[in-house]
Structure 1
Amino acid sequence: MSSQLSHLVNASNLLTEIKNLVEVLCMAASDINDERQQCAIQCICDIADDRIATINAVLDAARNEPA
């Protein structure tokens, strides 16, 4: 496996971990009784989901580039 491909795999794995953490944070937000705090956490989760999707697209493009 080339070094670049190895870095892409590592980045993809780290991104998956972050995605899982954001998912847990979103689930935890539903247990918060303060509506403002719950809304703020949900907003952060939504932003994180958007960034994750963008980073995934960049990683996919990098994976598909000819070596």
Structure 2
Amino acid sequence: MSDSSSKIVEACNLLTDVKNLVEVLFMAAADISNERQQSAIQYVCDIADERIATINALLNTACKQL
């Protein structure tokens, strides 16, 4: 495996870790009694999920080009 390939694999693994952390944060937000705070955290999680999906697509494209 080339150095570029291994870096892409490492980035994918880190991205999976981040996605899992965002999911945990989203679930934890459900326990917040203040609805505005809960909504704000869940909104940020939604944005993070969108960014993660975009980065994942870019990494997949990069993998195919190697």
CA offset digits 1:17-50 (Å, max 9, x no partner): 0000000000000000000000000100000000
TM-align CA RMSD? 0.5
Is structure 2 residue 43 aligned with structure 1 residue 43? Answer: yes
**Structure 2, unpaired ranges of 5+:** none
Which residue pairs with 2:26 in the alignment?
26
Following TM superposition, where does structure 1 have runs of at least 4 consecutive aligned residues deviating by more than 4 angstroms? none
> Given the two structures, how large is their TM-score scaled by the length of structure 2?
0.98
**Structure 1, unpaired ranges of 5+:** none
Q: Distance in 1 between matches of 2:64 and 2:2?
A: 14
> Given the two structures, how large is their TM-score scaled by the length of structure 1?
0.96
Tell me the number of residue pairs that the alignment of Structure 1 and Structure 2 aligns.
Answer: 66
Structure 1 vs Structure 2: percent identity of aligned residues?
64
Q: Distance in 1 between matches of 2:46 and 2:21?
A: 13
Higher relative contact order (CA 8 A, sep 6+): 2
